[in-house]
Structure formats: C-alpha cells, structure tokens
Amino acid sequence: MGEQKGYVFLVGAGPGDVRLLTLKGEQVIKEADVILYDRLVNPLLLELAKPEAEFVYCGKLPDRHLLRQESINELLVTYSQAGKRVVRLKGGDPSVFGRVGEEVQALEQAGIPYEIVPGITAGIGAATYAGVPVTHRDHGASFAMVTGHDKSDNGQPLLDWRGLATIDTIAFYMGVKNLPYICEQLLAHGKPGQTPVLLIQWGTLGKQKVLEGTIATISDEARRVGFSNPAITLIGDVAKLRTKESWFERQPLFGMHILFARTGGGKSEIAAQLTGLGATVFEYPRFQTIWESAPVPSFAEFQEIIFHSPASVHWFFARLKEQRVDIRSLTADLYGASGKSVKAIESYACLAYPVTKLTPHQQGKRLVIGEKKVGERLLPDYGSYQFCRSHRETVVAQSHMTCRRLLEEDRIDTIVFPSAEAVRVVTEEIKACSQTPASLSSRAAVICFGPASANEAQRLGYEITETLQEPAREALREALMKAQLAKGRV
C-alpha cells in the first residue's frame, strides 16, 4: 500500500476580529488535526479547534523568523504525508503578502492535495474599521495594495514609484519602519504633500489605534508618538472621510478585553452580549465534555430528577433514546440546578422546574444527574438522593496556550466572575499560565456577580473592583464602563 497523504488548507484568518473569519475557514479549523499559525493570527481563533489538535507556532516577526519559510514548507508536507488534515493559518488573506505561492509550490512538488481559503485582507478590513472605504466615487477610483518592506538589502521596497503615485488609494502593509522613505518617494514622483494619510495599528481589534496626517507630516507624527507595526498605512483622499471616531470605535465597550470565567462547557449568553457591545471576550477556561458510558439506573423509579447542567440534560435524553424509553412513561418531575439547565430541559418539550421548588422526599426517590465531580461534593440542599454520573469535563490545554498569548499581548484588562465556583476554577487553572490572583488583579479590573462570588474572590486573594448585586446585563455594562473610567480608558 502506498503512503497515506492528508490534505492541506491554506487559510486566511482575516485582519484580527474573529468574527471576520469566513464560514469555510471556521469549518476547516474545527476539523484540523494540525494547525500551523502565524504571529498575527488572533489567538482566540485557536479556541475553535478540536481539543486533540496539534499546534505549531510559526512566530514570524518583521526582523526574525522563529521558523524559516523552508521549514514551514517541509512541515506542511511531512504532516500531510502522515495522513493529517493540516491548516496553515495566516493573518489577513493568504494570497496577499502571505507567501502562499511558495507553500503551494512545495505541496505541488510533493503531490499533496490542498485548497486555498481566502480571508479579508488587512488593507481593506483595517480601513473599513477605521471608518474609511478604499474606493469612493468622489475620492478614489483605483486602489493598490503594496508591501512596505521587501527583500532588498536595506528592506526599502523597490517599486514603480512613478506609477504608484498615480493610484488614488494606496495601502502599504507593514510600512511604518520605512515610512520616511515611502513618503519621500511618493513626493518625489508627484504625489501632493497634502494628500491625507491614516496609520491604522492593530486594525479591527479592540486595541486599534489610528493616527492621521498627510504625506508631508505623517513620518514626524509617527516618530513623535512612537507608532509601530503591525499597521496599515492608508494614503489617499478617501482618508478625508474619517470622522473623529469610526463606527467600530464608537461601540460602548470598544477597547475592553475581558476574561469571562467559565465552570463548564457551552458558551455564555452574557459573553456574547458583551461581544456585541464591542468588547473582546475570552471565555476561560475551555472545557471538553467526555460522556460516561457506565450502566445507568432505571429512571422510572424516581419521583424527582435534578440536572446539574445542560450537558447532563442532553446525556439523559440520549440515554432514553438509546434504551428506547418513552419520556411519557416516566412520572418524575424534572428540575434544573441553573437557568440554563431548565432551558435545556424545556428544549425537549418537557416541563421543568428550578431546584428552589424542591420538597423533601425519602432516600432513593430523588436522582441527581451531573458531572463526575458533582458526586464528590456534599449537596445538603437536596436532602437524600442517588447520584448518577453523566459526564466529566476536562480543561482543554490549548485554552492555557491562548490565555498566555493574550496576557503576553496585554489583551486582558477585565475579569468577570459570574459565580463563586468560577472564581475557584479560574484560580486553579490560571496557575498553568504562571499567574496568581494578585498578579491578575494588578493588570485587570475584577468584577463579581453577587456577594458569594466576591467573598470567594477576596478569600483567594483578588482585589475586587466591583460587586454586582444582580447578574443583569445592564448592571454589568455599567460596571464595565465604570472600570474603563477608573483606569482612564474612556
């Protein structure tokens, strides 16, 4: 039998905002066995990958390379020849200064099947998030994407400057270092000195910054404020269309980077709402659900069944289906230990009650279904009961990897603890990132839902910024705005 060959996807991750990833890009990331990713890929995208996926950081920097391009090419071939489904994840679009041509050539020579998955390129995405279109009927009918550095001896791009000066809108990629040279060449070849220029750093991300100027002034301005890459230099009259703040920068929670604590699988509705308000939200830690396959009791003998999580609800109905048991044959009342659990029960068209409606019953008549660790705790509020393990949840290692990257990039400035259990889980898991409650408190505002969460956070050594009296969206939004003011963010 011939050697097994896998498949390679060369994927554009977009300019930064995770919501700009294409549907196909998301699909192949979720299915990948191996992901080779660059420095400018938003680490939150790696959370889409399956728990067992392998990651290779290519770590490309402007002045050095952790992995040479030749080594990356070799890895793509090696992994695919081992039968792996490989994703090469690049910032922006892989065909725009992404060296995808070299990687494709290596795959072609090795006979490896591949696909290129386009992404939104930074020259367009960053401009749009800065509030500027790259073309406009009154200001620009032509648009060029140009590298701001190349393989010349001094790194200054060798270009047709005379032809380039006739283009209405020019987007230079990674050109801040060569900005004086770029402006000098455009001026020398006929571009007016008063032509507007925007420097857009970390475009489409919460830490986006925009510096305005003209060809004649922008180099001095950039030097004065210490502007640096990664940045897009947008030159042309379309830059006149920028208002004081773009639609992106006007979002209520723009610029906030929130770690939202989790205690189990599933996405948080509150976290999704915060993202919709402009915040960058990292739900930590991420869990993998492993279903129990041990023998289960006869559900028909119980008068009350309590579910500790939505996952336990789904496990229960899967067991009924597996055993061909009609839910109508059961006489038990169904209870959810949380609002999410109640909703999960109701999603199966069954009546559900919160656990606050429980009344005492004799031993053996009440069943608690939940994660393995639930059975190791005392549950006095439930009286006598029998426990059934439905699943266990383990923290996915890549969640720690993502957290470390975000901390290194200073992209966590607020921590939200929705429960006391969330405080305990994050405190235990954050050790893998070499962090403590004290170190987290020194870099981030800490917001707790209710006194129980605050008491636990204080006991474990956090400095609490705000305690919400009720876990309501508006209360949290007000607290986040207050935290921004306290740290001088708005």
Catalytic residues: 38, 60, 174
Buried b (16+ CB within 10 A) or exposed e, 336-360: bbbebbbebbeeeeeebeebeebee
Q: Give the bridge partners for 468, in sequence order.
A: 449
DSSP state of 320: H
Q: 225 is written with which tokens?
A: 């404020």
Q: Pick the closest to residue 371 from 394, 396, 393, 395 (CA basis).
A: 393
- What H or E segment, with its residue span, contains residue 323? helix 310-323
* Helix axis angle, 218-225 to 179-188, nearest 10°: 170
Alpha-carbon distance of 67 to 436, in angstroms, equals 32
Alpha-carbon distance of 34 to 457, in angstroms, equals 37
Q: 215 is written with which tokens?
A: 């060809």
| CA-based torsion, 256, 261, 262, 268: positive or negative | negative
Contact between 310 and 344 (Cβ < 8 Å): yes
Q: 49 is written with which tokens?
A: 């990958």
Local structure of 167: helix, strand or coil: coil
Q: Pick the closest to residue 236 from 169, 190, 183, 165 (CA basis).
A: 169
Q: Give the bridge partners for 391, in sequence order.
A: 291, 371
Contact between 133 and 106 (Cβ < 8 Å): no
Q: 365 is written with which tokens?
A: 């008549």
Contact between 381 and 319 (Cβ < 8 Å): no
Q: Pick the closest to residue 467 from 422, 411, 419 (CA basis).
A: 419
The beta-strand segments (E) located in 352-440 are 353-354, 366-371, 386-395, 414-417
* Helix axis angle, 69-81 to 100-110, nearest 10°: 40
DSSP states of 42-75: -GGGGGGS-TT-EEEE--B-SS-BSS-HHHHHHH
Alpha-carbon distance of 207 to 17, in angstroms, equals 11
- Other C-beta atoms lying within 10 Å of the C-beta of residue 313: 27
At position 8, the amino acid (one-letter code) is V
For tokens 């270092």, name the residue: 177
